[in-house]
Amino acid sequence: MYKEQIDMARLPQHIAFIMDGNGRWAQARGQQRSYGHFAGADTLEATLRCATKLGIPYVTFYAFSTENWSRPQDEVNTLLDLMLKHLEEKIFMENDVKFLLVGDIENLPQNLRDASERLMEKTKNNKAITMGVAFNYSSRWELAHAAKIIAKEVKEGKMKLEDITAETIDRHLATGIMPNPDLLIRTGGEQRLSNFQMWQLAYAELYFTDTYWPDFNDECLYKAIVDYQSRQRRFGKTGEQVTENK
């Protein structure tokens, strides 16, 4: 239905996902919250495949925030185990997916850190799509981390203070190798960023849906892209200026 409405010449180059609603989806079915996270992991893989077929170059999935460590320990353990389970090289190599872990990798459990670093090295030359997974991530951590790196480079004489620009910050973020998202999709009915890519999403189009993440399917993605393409992206200009430039 919606796929036929997509203008393939105007696809978003980078789609970011806040995968919300796993726990509520499970509880609505009389199941433990962990049941929803397992279902949500399947949805992530299906969404990745759909985005790859469409020709979306970059996707980022918000999987685990730095604040999520405060959740019940059994739920945290489930999320850690799921992440480790899905860092299988075969899936990424068969589908030509470049993997990027976006987050505080230094403070992850050692087995998860080692697996992530191995996968990033193994897939660094893959070209079909770049998949970022924001794990142990928060935007405030990311901005503070970038500021520390920039300050260190200034102190060491590698950069002058007056040379620091917005592009400098872009390069030093955890997402530095990717363009900023054009479209953010948040499932689960909430309408907030939840400390996710607050710098990068400055001019992204925001799409919120009541659909819980485990129920988010290809048709849902097509619908979000159609909605995105219906909007006029002005980047500070007037609507008339955008129309004239086109």
The catalytic residues are 20, 68
Question: Which run of H or of E encompasses 129?
Answer: strand 129-137
Helix%, strand%, coil% for the chain, nearest 5: 50, 15, 35
Cα 16 to Cα 180: distance, rounded to the nearest angstrom? 9
Residues 60/103, Cβ–Cβ less than 8 Å: no
- Amino acid sitting at position 105: I
Residues 182/15, Cβ–Cβ less than 8 Å: yes
Kindly give, in sequence order, each residue whose CB lies less than 8 Å from that of residue 74, ignoring residues fewer than 6 positions away: 34
Which residue from 39, 11, 10 is spatially nearest to 23, judged by alpha carbons? 39
- Write down the residue that tokens 């689960």 correspond to: 188
DSSP, res 70: G
Task: Provide the Cα torsion 16, 224, 237, 239; round to 10°.
Answer: 180
